[in-house]
Amino acid sequence: AETRGTADGHARARAASAAAIHAAWQSLLAVGARPDPTRRAVEQLLVRAEVALAAPADTDPARLRAWARGLRGTGRVPRVAQPREAAEELIGVAAERALTSRSPWHRLTPCAPIAVRTVLGCASAGYAALALGVGRPYWALVTAASLYQANVTLTWNRGVQRVVGNLVGVLAFAVLAPFTHLHPALLVLCCLALSFGAEALIGRNYWLGSVCVTPMALLITEFARTQDTTELITDRVVDTLVGALVGFVAAVAVTNRRAGDRLDQALTTAERARESAARLLAEPQPA
C-alpha cells in the first residue's frame, strides 16, 4: 500500500508538472512573437524543465530549485547553458511562434465554428424564451452559452449538469425565500453564504456549483424589491429547459469537422516521426 501510494504521488506530481510546462509554453506563445533576452532565458528554462520531466534521474534537483528561486525573485532571469536538444527545441518554438504571428484572419478562422455555434444557440434560446412569454429570457441565453464545450459529448454532459444543478438550486431557493423575506440582513447573509459555496464547489463539480449559483441569482433579484417566489421559480425552470434544449440543438447543428481532420493529420505525422526515430535508433550509429 505504501509503494502504491508513493507511485500515485509521483504520477500526480508528474501530471501537474507536465500541465504547468504546457501552460507556460502557451503563455509565452500568447504574448507575442517579439524575441528578447528575457523571453529567451525563460524559454531555455522551460526546455530544461521538460528535460527534467523526461529524465528525472539525469537532473540535479538542487540546480533546479536554485533556478526556480531565481525565477520567482525580482532579479534577473537565470541564464542556463543551451545544450543541443535545447537548441532543437527552441527551433521548434520559433516555428510555432511564426505560425502564431500570421494575420488575424488566419488565427481566427479555426474559431469560426465556435463563434457561429455560440451566436446561433444564444440568439435562438433568447428568442424562444421571448416567444414563450417568459419574464426573463436572458436566463435562457446564459444557459445556452454555458453549455458549449470542445465536442458534443462534453456539451451534453455540461447540459445535464446545468439542468440538474439549476433544478436543485430552484428547490433550494423555494426553501430559502420565505426565510430571507423576514429581514433584509438575512437576504444578504444568504447571498454571501451561497457565494462562498459557489466559489468552493464550482471548480470541483459544475452541477454542485450551480446548486449554489441558482438560488443566489434568484435572491439577488430581490435586492431591489420582494418579488413573487412562484413567478421567479417558473421563469428560471422554463428558461433553463429552453436554453439547454435550444443550445444543445445548435451544438449538434454546427460542428467543427475540420478539427477532427487536423487531429487525424497530426496523429499521422506523429506516428511517422516515431517510426523514423525508431529506425534511426536501430542503426549501428544512432547518433
**CA neighbor of 114 nearest in space, from 254, 249, 253, 264:** 254
pLDDT at position 25: 77
pLDDT: which is higher, 34 or 127:
127
Q: Please give the helix or strand (H or E) that residue 220 lies within, else none.
A: helix 206-220
Q: What is the dihedral of CA 198, 161, 205, 141, to 10 degrees?
A: -40
pLDDT: which is higher, 2 or 40:
40
* 57-66, 76-85, 91-100: range with lowest mean pLDDT: 91-100
* 35-39, 178-182, 212-216: range with lowest mean pLDDT: 35-39
Contact between 265 and 213 (Cβ < 8 Å): no
pTM for the whole structure = 0.59
* 14-23, 79-88, 188-197: range with lowest mean pLDDT: 79-88
Model confidence over 150-159: pLDDT tens digits?
A: 788 888 999 9
∠ CA 40-41-42, nearest 5°, is 90
Alpha carbons 154 and 170: distance in angstroms, whole number: 24
